[in-house]
């Protein structure tokens, strides 16, 4: 078990390292970046931006450093100065970038002019990195600076303000899916081929096919627009808290920003997030239960004269839940994907909407940070699943 | 001598009275799944609508009637007297025309993405499973790695980068011209749709290749493959004449489910504003536009939303039906 865990952790680091490289490459090979808007401003001539300004901004976004140095600074926050060993500093004048490149307009063979970097006016050495703002490194939870959304502020600040909202949504949806999905699956397996089973199977099939964004809109149309229109108790739509007090028939006045307001606004997004899980999970539990109920040990339990409830809950269900574990654990990172759509539909200020807003404004550091977090979650979910398997099923040994 | 003549005279029908065409069996088994059959009709209907879009649509999808935005369904225009069966959108474009042309674009995107990702997935999976060894190790590790990264966020990032810099991915002009002919779009708008197809394909082949690899691994040990090799067949012949046809059943099921899934994914991308953009009509971006006005005009999101839902539902049922029909071990 210990050697297995050590190997797994090693593998995980490898996977994470690779996804870090992949996301960094994607980020850097994408043309544009924070300087694109700068050149646009320069060309429009409304504001005067000197070469020094450009150099300063380039240094701010670390664009003056060569790619490998930029990458290690992004990943682990090093190098942040010359190599210090025993009070002595080494490699102080190693050139790691260029603060002011000399650019020349070159006319290519096809007659188009292109800007080419032909030399360097002012070089950046390792020694000059000292005193610069250095990120602690993505591996240690520092995702650098946002390009657009919160200019110059750390991405982690942005995520920290959004994270509680997503957590609130997800934990509620997760609990609801388990509370509804499990009993539904068990009941319809026990009553196989009954009318309930038939209706349930069709409904869960439809639920799985329903695109979340359309389901969300249908909910808003019914609970937010229709019920409001006919004067029945309705649900408020959009955002996590309101800005204006409102009155719901039969319920009374709701203060904007109160807990009730927040909870009321949570109902619909949670229902949408849970719907997908309930449909999928209950179908899975049903199939798994049906398989286990055919096993010999269930027949033995019945033959012993145990009452049906005990047979189902203690003998069948516990074994049926083992394969279900995979799905439940992997739902944690998967829900983030669901949250992207759901939060956008309901305008919920969580990480999913942050992701879409960041992409819409080409703020790639924010988007990459969120992608990286989901990748980390997935990797940990894999480990968690394997370890949990050994806990619930003693037949499984990790070697 | 007379005995051999008698053998020849026996009719094939008498020799094998139970012989049935393979396709016929599958069709028979499929049609027993009532919902799958209904779904197939829906799917064929959508295909027909998209093929005959120019004949069905009363107007061009980008024709704007100034001053007649948000017209209710079935209302007639005051200026021209023309009836807008599904009303008009926020800038006065005929909603029915947009819906019908959107069907053509969404169907093209889904079908092309499915075809290309299935071809890539089958080829990569077959090579990886058949040759094994280092090739397999590299390919399957790569596929596994790609599948650990959550697909939707990745898809969104890549498509956002490509939409901002459409020239990053060089697409041959021939393909753009061909697709613009199919989708009836100007070439400038076609590029975007082709990019979305490329993004969908880039992440779509992974699952197919895993499926195919598994099938090939099982088939490789079968005796008929050994026999083919003993008869001197080369690798390519064995892969394409023996492996691929034998692995076809699950691949077909997978492809039919993928058709539905790609339709929804494209709609989701366009809905989130990172797919095909506005002047080009798709169900996803019509829904996104309608969402902003749904409090005053609740029918607007319903009209493009329902086709997305039925598209997804139908292909799930069709896939379900095909899975039952193509599995010879399953007694129906």
Model ipTM value = 0.84
User: What is residue A96's predicted lDDT score, i.e. its pLDDT?
Assistant: 74
C-alpha torsion angle, residues A52, A58, A62, A64 (rounded to 10): -70
pLDDT digit string, tens, across residues B223-238: 888 899 899 888 888 8
Q: How many CB atoms lie within 10 A of CB A27?
A: 18
Q: What's the alpha-carbon Rg for chain B, to the nearest Å?
A: 25
CA distance B14 to chain A (A): 42
SS3 content of chain A, % helix, strand, coil (to 5): 65, 10, 25
For residue A395, report the phi and psi dihedrals to the nearest 5 degrees.
Answer: -70, -25
pLDDT digit string, tens, across residues A283-311: 889 988 888 888 898 899 889 988 888 88
List the 295-324 stretch of B: residues with Cβ below 8 A of A: 295, 298, 301-302, 305, 308-309, 312-313, 316-317, 320
Most B-contacting residue of A18, A217, A356 (CB-CB within 10 A), to test interface: A217
Residue B77 within any structural domain of the chain: no
Residue B332 within any structural domain of the chain: no
Residue B163 within any structural domain of the chain: yes
Can you name the residues that pair with A101 across neighbouring β-strands? A120
Judge whether residue B17 has pLDDT over 70.
Answer: no
List the 192-221 stretch of B: residues with Cβ below 8 A of A: none
Distance CA A26, CA B157 (A): 9
Judge whether residue A252 has pLDDT over 70.
Answer: yes
C-alpha torsion angle, residues B173, B176, B182, B185 (rounded to 10): -120
Nearest-CA neighbor of A9 among A390, A397, A380?
Answer: A380
Can you name the residues that pair with B106 across neighbouring β-strands? none
Structure tokens at B327: 């599995």
Q: Which domain holds residue B118?
A: 33-58+96-326
Q: How many CA atoms lie within 13 A of A398 on its CB side?
A: 19
Put residue B273 in one of left, alpha, beta given phi > 0 → left and psi -120 to 50 → alpha.
left
User: What is residue A33's predicted lDDT score, i.e. its pLDDT?
Assistant: 61
Nearest-CA neighbor of B175 among B194, B198, B201?
Answer: B194
Establish if B287 touches chain A: CB-CB under 8 angstroms. yes
Judge whether residue B27 has pLDDT over 90.
Answer: no
pLDDT tier at B115, thresholds 50, 70, 90: very high
Q: What's the alpha-carbon Rg for chain A, to the nearest Å?
A: 28
- Which of these ranges, A3-7, A208-212, B41-45, has the smallest mean pLDDT? A3-7
pLDDT tier at A34, thresholds 50, 70, 90: low
Q: DSSP string spanning A284-336?
A: HHHHHHHHHHTSHHHHHHHHTT--HHHIIIIIIHHHHHHHHHHHHHHHHHHHH
Q: Do B153 and A370 touch (CB under 8 A)?
A: yes
* Cis ω for the linkage preceding A79 (within 30 of 0): yes
Residue B42 within any structural domain of the chain: yes
Domains and CATH numbers, chain A: 157-233+272-392 (1.10.3720.10)
Contact yes or no for A252/A275 (Cβ under 8 A) = no
CA distance A95 to chain B (A): 31
Nearest-CA neighbor of B67 among B58, B59, B57, B79?
Answer: B79
Q: What is the mean pLDDT of residues A144-161?
A: 76
Structure tokens at A224: 């937010």
Q: What is the mean pLDDT of residues A228-254?
A: 81
Mean per-residue pLDDT over chain A, rounded? 81
Determine the angle formed by the axes of helices B173-183 and B95-131, rounding to 10 degrees: 130
pLDDT tier at B86, thresholds 50, 70, 90: confident
Judge whether residue A270 has pLDDT over 50.
Answer: yes
Mean per-residue pLDDT over chain B, rounded? 84
B2 or A397: which carries more pLDDT confidence?
Answer: A397
Distance CA B90, CA B96 (A): 13
Contact yes or no for A248/A148 (Cβ under 8 A) = no
Judge whether residue A206 has pLDDT over 80.
Answer: yes
User: What is residue A29's predicted lDDT score, i.e. its pLDDT?
Assistant: 66
Establish if B158 touches chain A: CB-CB under 8 angstroms. yes
**Cα distances (Å, whole numbers) of residue A233 to A91, A260, A262, B145:** 71, 14, 16, 49
Sort B153 into a burial class: Cβ within 10 Å, 0-12 / 13-18 / 19+.
buried
Put residue A243 in one of left, alpha, beta given phi > 0 → left and psi -120 to 50 → alpha.
alpha
Find the residue in B nearest to A344 (Cα). Answer: B272
- Maximum Cα–Cα distance for chain B, whole Å? 92
Structure tokens at A367: 């988007």
Judge whether residue A150 has pLDDT over 60.
Answer: yes
Find the residue in A nearest to B301 (Cα). Answer: A217
Residue B182 belongs to domain with CATH number: 1.10.3720.10
Chain A residues close to B308, C-beta within 8 Å: 211, 214
Contact yes or no for B322/B257 (Cβ under 8 A) = no
Judge whether residue B157 has pLDDT over 90.
Answer: no
Q: Do A360 and B287 touch (CB under 8 A)?
A: no
Looking up tokens 């033959």 gives A303
pLDDT digit string, tens, across residues A84-108: 777 777 777 777 777 777 777 777 6
Distance CA B256, CA B43 (A): 11
Nearest-CA neighbor of B216 among B328, B140, B148?
Answer: B140
Residue B150 within any structural domain of the chain: yes
User: What is residue A44's predicted lDDT score, i.e. its pLDDT?
Assistant: 66
Find the residue in A nearest to B299 (Cα). Answer: A221
Residue B207 within any structural domain of the chain: yes
Q: What is the pTM of this model?
A: 0.84
**Cα distances (Å, whole numbers) of residue A379 to A10, A18, B92, B147, B204:** 12, 12, 49, 11, 21
Residue B27 within any structural domain of the chain: no
Residue B11 within any structural domain of the chain: no
Structure tokens at B37: 């059959």
Can you name the residues that pair with A288 across neighbouring β-strands? none
Q: Do B274 and A356 touch (CB under 8 A)?
A: yes
Number of domains in chain B: 1
User: What is residue A148's predicted lDDT score, i.e. its pLDDT?
Assistant: 67
Structure tokens at B3: 């005995």
- H helices of chain A, in order, are 2-29, 34-44, 51-60, 67-76, 155-190, 195-209, 212-219, 227-229, 259-293, 296-303, 308-310, 317-345, 351-360, 364-392
pLDDT digit string, tens, across residues A380-395: 888 888 888 777 777 7
Looking up tokens 């069905």 gives B56
User: What is residue B1's predicted lDDT score, i.e. its pLDDT?
Assistant: 47
A27 or B191: which carries more pLDDT confidence?
Answer: B191
Q: How many CB atoms lie within 10 A of CB A263?
A: 12
């Amino acid at each position: 078990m210990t050697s297995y865990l050590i190997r797994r952790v090693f593998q995980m680091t490898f996977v994470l390292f690779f996804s870090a490289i992949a996301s960094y490459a994607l980020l850097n090979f994408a043309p544009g970046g924070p300087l694109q808007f700068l050149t646009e401003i320069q060309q429009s001539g409304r504001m005067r931006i000197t070469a020094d300004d450009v150099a300063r901004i380039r240094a701010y976004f670390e664009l003056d450093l060569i790619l490998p140095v930029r990458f290690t600074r992004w990943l682990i926050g090093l190098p942040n100065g010359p190599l210090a060993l025993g009070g002595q500093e080494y490699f102080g004048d190693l050139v790691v970038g260029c603060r002011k490149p000399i650019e020349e307009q070159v006319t290519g063979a096809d007659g188009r002019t292109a800007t080419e970097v032909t030399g360097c006016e002012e070089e950046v050495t390792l020694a000059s990195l000292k005193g610069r703002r250095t990120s602690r490194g993505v591996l240690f939870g520092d995702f650098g600076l946002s390009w657009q959304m919160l200019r110059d502020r750390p991405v982690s600040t942005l995520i920290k303000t959004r994270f509680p909202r997503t957590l609130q949504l997800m934990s509620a949806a997760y609990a609801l899916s388990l509370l509804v999905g499990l009993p539904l699956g068990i009941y319809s397996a026990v009553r196989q081929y009954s009318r309930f089973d038939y209706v349930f199977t069709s409904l869960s099939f439809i639920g799985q096919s329903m695109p979340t964004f359309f389901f969300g809109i249908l909910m808003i149309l019914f609970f937010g627009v229709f019920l409001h229109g006919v004067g029945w108790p309705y649900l408020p739509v959009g955002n996590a808290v309101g800005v204006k007090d409102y009155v719901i028939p039969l319920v009374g006045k709701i203060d904007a920003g109160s807990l009730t307001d927040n909870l009321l606004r949570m109902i619909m997004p949670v229902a949408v997030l849970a719907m997908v899980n309930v449909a999928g999970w209950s179908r899975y539990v049903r199939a798994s239960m049906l398989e286990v109920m055919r096993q010999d040990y269930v027949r033995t339990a019945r033959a012993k004269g145990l009452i049906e409830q005990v047979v189902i809950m203690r003998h069948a269900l516990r074994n049926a839940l083992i394969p279900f574990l995979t799905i439940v654990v992997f739902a944690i990172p998967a829900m983030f994907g669901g949250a992207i759509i759901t939060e956008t539909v309901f305008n919920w200020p969580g990480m999913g909407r942050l992701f879409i807003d960041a992409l819409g404004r080409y703020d790639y550091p924010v988007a990459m940070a969120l992608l990286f977090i989901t990748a980390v979650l997935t990797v940990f979910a894999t480990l968690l699943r394997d370890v949990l398997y050994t806990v619930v099923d003693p037949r499984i040994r990790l070697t | 001598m007379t005995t051999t003549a008698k053998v020849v005279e026996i009719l094939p029908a008498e020799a094998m009275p139970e012989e049935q065409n393979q396709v016929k069996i599958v069709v028979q088994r499929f049609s027993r799944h009532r919902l799958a059959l209904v779904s197939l009709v829906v799917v064929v209907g959508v295909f027909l609508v998209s093929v005959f879009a120019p004949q069905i649509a009363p107007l061009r999808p980008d024709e704007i009637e100034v001053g007649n935005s948000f017209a209710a369904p079935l209302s007639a225009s005051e200026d021209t007297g023309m009836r807008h069966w599904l009303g008009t959108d926020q800038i006065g474009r005929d909603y029915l025309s947009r819906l019908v042309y959107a069907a053509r674009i969404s169907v093209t995107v889904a079908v092309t993405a499915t075809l290309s990702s299935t071809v890539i997935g089958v080829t990569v999976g077959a090579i990886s499973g058949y040759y094994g060894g280092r090739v397999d190790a590299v390919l399957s590790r790569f596929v596994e790695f790609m599948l650990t990264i959550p697909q939707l966020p990745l898809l969104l990032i890549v498509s956002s980068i490509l939409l901002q810099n459409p020239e990053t991915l060089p697409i041959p002009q021939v393909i753009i011209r061909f697709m613009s002919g199919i989708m009836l779009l100007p070439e400038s708008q076609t590029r975007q749709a082709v990019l979305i197809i490329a993004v969908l394909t880039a992440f779509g082949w992974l699952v197919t290749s895993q499926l195919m690899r598994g099938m090939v691994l099982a088939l490789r040990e079968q005796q008929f493959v050994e026999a083919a090799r003993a008869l001197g067949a080369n690798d390519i012949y064995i892969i394409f004449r023996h492996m691929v046809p034998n692995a076809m059943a699950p691949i077909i099921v997978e492809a039919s489910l993928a058709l539905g899934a790609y339709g929804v994914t494209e709609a989701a991308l366009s809905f989130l504003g990172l797919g095909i953009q506005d002047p080009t009509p798709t169900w996803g971006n019509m829904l996104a536009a309608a969402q902003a006005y749904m409090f005053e005009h609740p029918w607007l999101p319903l009209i493009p939303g329902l086709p997305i839902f039925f598209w997804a539902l139908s292909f799930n049922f069709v896939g379900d039906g095909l899975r039952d029909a193509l599995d010879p071990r399953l007694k129906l």
